[in-house]
Amino acid sequence: MNWGFVIANAITLACIYGTLAIGLSITWSSLGLINMAYGFIFALSGYGAWLAAQHVSANGFIVMAAGILTGAAGGLLVCALAFIPIHDKPNFTVRGMIATLAVSLVGNQALLWYFGPRAKSLPQLFGASQTSIFGVVMTADKIGAVVSSVVLLSAVLLWMRSSRRGLEIRAMMMNPHAASIVGIGVRRTGFYVMALTGGLAGLASVLLSQTYYVGPFSGITPMVKGLSVALCGGLGSVFGAVIAAALLGINEAMTSVVFGGQYVLITQFALIILILLIRPRGIAGILDKAREA
Amino acid sequence: MTATWKNPISAFDPEKPVEEVVTNDYLSPQSQWDAVRAYNVPTYEVGRLRYYHKWGGHGARLWSRLRYWPTRRRVLDISGEYNAKTLRRQKTIEDKRPIWWVLALLALAIVPFFIPENQQNALLTAGAVFGIYAAINLCWMLIIGTAGIYSLATYAVVGAAAYGTAYLSIHLGLPWWAMPLIGSIIGLVFGVIIAIPATRLEGFYYALLTLGLVELCRVYVLQSREFGSATGGLFGADSYIPQAWPQHDQLMLGYYAGLALMILALFLFRFVNGKRLGRVLRMAPEKREAFAEATGVNYRAARIQVFLISSLALGFIGGFYSTHFRGAAPNLFSFDTMLLSLSMLVIGGLGRSEGAVLGTLIVVFIDRVLVDWGPMRFVLIGTLMLLVVLFLRGGLFGIKEQFRAWRDKKKSENRSSRAEKGGEMLPEEATETPNKDIIYFRRFDKMQRDFLKKLITPELIEEHRKRPLGQHSEALERVLTYFRRQPLNDKYAITVIEPFKSYRIVALSGSRGVAPRLVEDKTYGTPDEAYHALFMRRVQDLLES
C-alpha cells in the first residue's frame, strides 16, 4: 500500500466534497432550504461541460467555465421553481425539501431522456503530465483539482467577506428575518446564493468527472457525500465543513489502508454518527445559534 | 335618455305651442338607496355551516352500540335528534369516511374480475406492487406524520429485512411463512440501530443522516458477494405462490395477498395513529414540544415507540416482499425508490392514511402501467409532486379544507372592503365626533351626491344653457335645489361689474364683513351666460367630489 498515493487521493476527494458541502451549507444557512436538487445541478453541469467540450472547444478553461456557468443556471432554475414560490408559505422547510426532491426527480429523468443512459467522459482538463512532490507521484488532474478548488473556494469566501452582496448573504445567514427588515431582498439574495452554490456544484462536477463519468444519475452519490460532510461539519458553517472534509478524507485514506476499500462507507457513517451523537449540530454548529427553520 | 319634458306653465298661454325639452329618463332617488344598502357579499347556497343529509327514523342508539372488536370504536358515528320544526326523529352521519373506505376496498377487491384479458398481467402485477408499496407508505406515514421523525431510512429497513430473509431462505431453507416473522425481527433490530441517533438529532439532521444510511446499504449490497453483487440481486427464495399454478392464478393470489397486507397496514395505522400513541403525539407537534413536555407528555418515548412499531411492521413487509418476489434487488435502496415513495406520500397528503393509499395508487399506476412512456412518466410524477408541494398545503386530500379556508378568507376580505358602510368618516373620526348627526348627515350627503352625479348628462346641461332661470325639468330641478342648499362659505355667486354688460363669478367668504374673492378672470356679457358658467363650475365640483 502506497501511503502517499492514498493521502493524495484523499486530499483530492476532500477538496471536491468540501466544495459540494460548502455549497449545501451556504444554501441551508442563508435560505433555509435543503437543496436536494444538488445532485441534479451536479449532473446538469457535467452535461453542460460535456456539450461545451463537444461543440465549442476542449480547452480546459472553457470546459470548466461552461460547467460552472451551467451549474449557476441550474441553481437559478431550482431557485425559481422551489424557493421563490414557497419561501414565505407555512411549513417551508419540509415543502422546500420535497420541492427540490421533485425538481431533482424531473431533472434527472429529463437528462436521461435527452442524453440517454450512456455515460459521457470529459476531456482531460489539466493534461496528462506527472510530477513528484515529496516522493509522491501526483498526476496533473489531481493537482489541478486541488489547486482549482482551493483557489475558487477562497475566491468565493473572499468575495463573501469583502463585497456588498457577500455582506447581504452573510446577513441572511446570521438572521434572515432581521436581514429582510433592514432591506435585504430575500428573493434577490436567494438568486445570488443559488447561482453561487450552483456554480460550486458545477466546479465540483467538472473536477470529479476527471476520475468518474458524466451520467444522468452521477450526482446522487456526490450529493449524499457532500450532505454528510456538511452535516458533520454543522450545517451553515463553512469552517466546520472544511474540518469535516479533512476528517472524512483522512478517515477514507486510513480505512482503505487498514481494512480495505469496501469498508470506507461503513467507517465513514460510523464516524459521522459518532460525531453527531457527541455534537448534535455538527463540529462547528452551536446548538442555540443554529438557524431556526 | 331621450325623454321629453313638457313645461307645465305652458298651459297658461294656450296660444303658444307647448314647450318641450329633451331631458333624462326618470331615475328614482330610491335606486341609490337600494344600491348602497344592497348586501353585495357573494354568498353560497349552504354558507358557512356544513350540510349534512338527515336520515329519518330512530336507531341512532343502535348504531352507537355497534362496536367492533378489539377496540370500542363505533362502526359509524351517527347522532340522533328531533327535528326542531317537524318534531320527527332524525339521524345524522357525522363522519362518512368509513363508508368511503369500505366502498374503495370493495372496489379494489372486485376489480380483477373486470380487467380486460390482454391487460391482466400488467395490471395484476401492478396491483400487487400497489398493495406492498401502500403498506410500506402507511408505515412510513406513521413515522413521518404521527411520530414527526423525518426518517428517510424506511427502505433501508425494508431492504435489510428482504435481503436477510432471502439470504436465510436460500441458504438455510427458511419456509415462506416464517420469512415475514424473521423479517420483523430484523426490522426491529434495524429500527433500534436507526433510532439511536434519533434521540439526539433534530429534524433535518436526522433526515440527511438516514439518507446517508440508505446510500450505505445500497453500496454495501452492490459490493457484497453474498448478497448477489454478480447477479444483480438475491433470488431463489421460497414463495407463498405455488410454482405449479397457472400464471393467472399466481397473479391473482399475489394481488389479493398484497391487498391483505395493505389492509393489515391500515389497521396498524388506525391502532397507532388513532389511539393513545397518536393522541400523545398530536399533543406535541413540531415547535410545541417544550409545552408538551412541561405538561407531562413524554413525547420522546412515544416517538421512539411509534418508530419501533413501524420498523417491526416494515420488517414484516420486507419479509413479505422477498417471498412475493422470490428475492430482493438492490434497487430497493436506490435514491429513486425513496423519491417515488416520498412522492406517493406527498401527492396524497402527509399525515393521513387515505392520502398514502391514494398517492400510492396514482404513482404506481403511472409508474407500472404507463410503461411505454419511458422516462417521461417519472417527469410526470415529479411534476405532479412539484405542483402539489407548491400549491397544496395537505396534498390531494387537503384540497377541500384548503378551498374552504380560501373561501372564508375571500368572504371576510369582501366584507371588510365595504368601507362605505362606515359613512363618509373614518372610524376614529366618527368615534371622536361629539355630534353624531354629522356622521349621518355626511352619509346621506354622499348618497345624494352619488345619485345626482348620475343625473348630469349633456341634455341636462344643454337645457340649463338654454334657460338658466325659470321652470326646469325634474332632473335639473333636483340638481339646482341641491346646489342652492349648499352652505354659504365658498358658495359661488355673481357680481356685477357693469350692469347688463359685464359680470364675474366670485366665491362668498361665508363670514360677515369679509369680501367675496374672485375665482376667475373671465367676464361674461349677459347674466344668462354668467348663470350658466356658475352652474358649470358647480357641476364640475360635484363630479369631482
3-class SS at B371?
A: helix
3-class SS at B517?
A: strand
pLDDT above 60 for A290: no
Non-local CB neighbours of B454 within 8 Å, separated by 6+ positions: B27, B32
**Residue of A237, A208, A199 lying closest to A74 (CA atoms):** A199
Q: Find the CB nearest B202 among A112, A220, A280.
A: A280
Which is it for the CA torsion A267, A271, A274, A280, positive or negative? negative
Determine the pLDDT at residue B46: 45
B219 in A contact zone (CB under 8 Å): yes
The packing angle between helices A264-278 and A238-258, to 10°, is 140
B102 in A contact zone (CB under 8 Å): no
d(CA B532, CA B276): 85
Residues in chain A: 293
Q: Find the CB nearest B209 among A91, A231, A265.
A: A231
Q: Find the CB nearest B219 among A86, A265, A281.
A: A265
Q: Are the Cβ atoms of A265 and B342 closer than 8 angstroms?
A: no
DSSP B73: E
Q: Are the Cβ atoms of B342 and A101 closer than 8 angstroms?
A: yes
Q: Name the percent of chain B in helix, strand, coil, to the closest 5.
A: 65, 10, 30
B404 in A contact zone (CB under 8 Å): no
Contacts of B351 in chain A (CB under 8 A): none
Contacts of B342 in chain A (CB under 8 A): 98, 101
Q: Find the CB nearest A269 among B200, B216, B223.
A: B216
Q: Are the Cβ atoms of B197 and A276 closer than 8 angstroms?
A: yes
B240 in A contact zone (CB under 8 Å): no
∠ CA B469-B474-B475, nearest 5°, is 90
Write out the three cell numbers for B348.
396524497
Q: Which B positions 122-181 lie with beta carbon below 8 A of chain A? A: 150
How close does chain B come to A108, measured CA to CA in Å?
A: 9
Beta bridge partners of B56: B90
Contacts of B224 in chain A (CB under 8 A): 262
Residue of B nearest to A285 (CA): B205
SS (HEC) of B360-384: HHHHHHHHHHCHHHCCHHHHHHHHH
Q: Which of A101, A237, A255 to probe by mutation at the B interface, max B CB count within 10 Å?
A: A101
How close does chain B come to A28, measured CA to CA in Å?
A: 11
Place of cell 431533482: A104
Write out the three cell numbers for A185.
431582498
In degrees to the nearest 10, what's the CA dihedral of B393, B396, B401, B407? 80
Residue of B nearest to A219 (CA): B335
Residue of B nearest to A101 (CA): B339
Contacts of A226 in chain B (CB under 8 A): none
Q: Are the Cβ atoms of B375 and A113 closer than 8 angstroms?
A: yes
Which is it for the CA torsion B16, B22, B28, B32, positive or negative? negative
Q: Find the CB nearest A276 among B209, B339, B374.
A: B209
Contacts of A82 in chain B (CB under 8 A): 386
How close does chain B come to A222, measured CA to CA in Å?
A: 11
B213 in A contact zone (CB under 8 Å): yes
Beta bridge partners of B73: B68
Backbone angles phi, psi at B420, to 5 degrees: -60, -25
Omega into B17 within 30° of 0, i.e. cis? no
Instruction: Please list the alpha-helical segments (H only) found in A234-263.
Output: 238-258
Backbone angles phi, psi at B338, to 5 degrees: -60, -45
Contacts of B197 in chain A (CB under 8 A): 273, 276-277
Q: Which of B390, B392, B402 to probe by mutation at the A interface, max A CB count within 10 Å?
A: B390
Q: Are the Cβ atoms of B203 and A293 closer than 8 angstroms?
A: yes
Q: Where are the domains of chain B?
A: 54-100, 118-333, 336-413, 435-544
Determine the pLDDT at residue B43: 55
Determine the pLDDT at residue B282: 87
Condensed to tens digits (0 to 9), the pLDDT of residues A144-189 reads: 888 888 888 888 888 888 998 888 888 888 887 888 889 888 888 8
Q: Which of B141, B150, B205, B344 to probe by mutation at the A interface, max A CB count within 10 Å?
A: B205
How close does chain B come to A231, measured CA to CA in Å?
A: 7
d(CA A156, CA A212): 25
How close does chain B come to A152, measured CA to CA in Å?
A: 27
Q: Are the Cβ atoms of A102 and B207 closer than 8 angstroms?
A: no
Determine the pLDDT at residue B148: 83
How close does chain A come to B375, measured CA to CA in Å?
A: 6
Q: How many CB pairs under 8 A join A and B?
A: 122
Q: Are the Cβ atoms of A90 and B215 closer than 8 angstroms?
A: no
B20 in A contact zone (CB under 8 Å): no
Backbone angles phi, psi at B81, to 5 degrees: -155, 170
Determine the pLDDT at residue B428: 75
Contacts of A282 in chain B (CB under 8 A): 205
Q: Are the Cβ atoms of A98 and B385 closer than 8 angstroms?
A: yes
Query: CA-CA distances (angstroms) from residue B545 to A215, B424, B534?
Result: 70, 12, 17
Tens place of pLDDT per residue across chain B (545 aa): 578 888 888 888 888 888 888 888 889 999 988 888 776 665 555 456 677 899 988 888 998 888 888 778 888 989 999 998 999 999 999 888 899 999 999 999 999 899 888 888 888 999 999 999 999 999 999 998 888 888 888 999 999 999 999 999 888 888 888 899 999 999 999 999 888 877 777 777 788 788 888 888 888 888 777 777 777 778 888 888 888 888 888 999 999 999 999 999 999 998 898 888 888 888 888 778 888 889 888 888 888 899 999 999 999 999 999 999 888 888 888 888 888 898 898 898 888 889 999 999 999 999 888 888 878 888 899 999 999 988 888 889 989 889 988 888 887 777 666 555 445 677 777 788 888 888 888 888 888 999 999 999 999 999 999 999 988 999 999 999 999 999 888 899 999 999 989 999 999 998 888 999 988 889 999 999 999 999 999 999 999 87
3-class SS at A282?
A: coil
CB-based burial of residue B174 (10 Å sphere; 0-12 exposed, 13-18 middle, 19+ buried)? buried
Q: Which of B215, B343, B366 to probe by mutation at the A interface, max A CB count within 10 Å?
A: B215
Which is it for the CA torsion B367, B203, B261, B74, positive or negative? negative
Contacts of A93 in chain B (CB under 8 A): 203-204
Write down the mean pLDDT value for chain A: 83
Condensed to tens digits (0 to 9), the pLDDT of residues A263-286 reads: 777 788 788 878 887 887 778 765
Contacts of B150 in chain A (CB under 8 A): 94
Write out the three cell numbers for B375.
422516462
Q: Are the Cβ atoms of B212 and A280 closer than 8 angstroms?
A: no
d(CA A42, CA A155): 20
**Residue of A53, A45, A20 lying closest to A206 (CA atoms):** A45
Q: Are the Cβ atoms of A98 and B342 closer than 8 angstroms?
A: yes
∠ CA A109-A115-A116, nearest 5°, is 75
Pairing mode, if any, of strands B78-82 and B492-498?
unpaired
Determine the pLDDT at residue A293: 45
User: Taking a C-beta distance cutoff of 8 angstroms, is the pair A97, B207 a contact?
Assistant: yes
d(CA B238, CA B254): 14
Pairing mode, if any, of strands B89-93 and B234-235?
unpaired
Q: Are the Cβ atoms of A228 and B376 closer than 8 angstroms?
A: no
User: Taking a C-beta distance cutoff of 8 angstroms, is the pair A189, A172 a contact?
Assistant: yes
**Residue of B295, B308, B296, B299 lying closest to B277 (CA atoms):** B299
Residue of B nearest to A100 (CA): B386
Q: Are the Cβ atoms of A95 and B382 closer than 8 angstroms?
A: no
3-class SS at B349?
A: coil
Q: Find the CB nearest B223 among A110, A262, A269.
A: A262
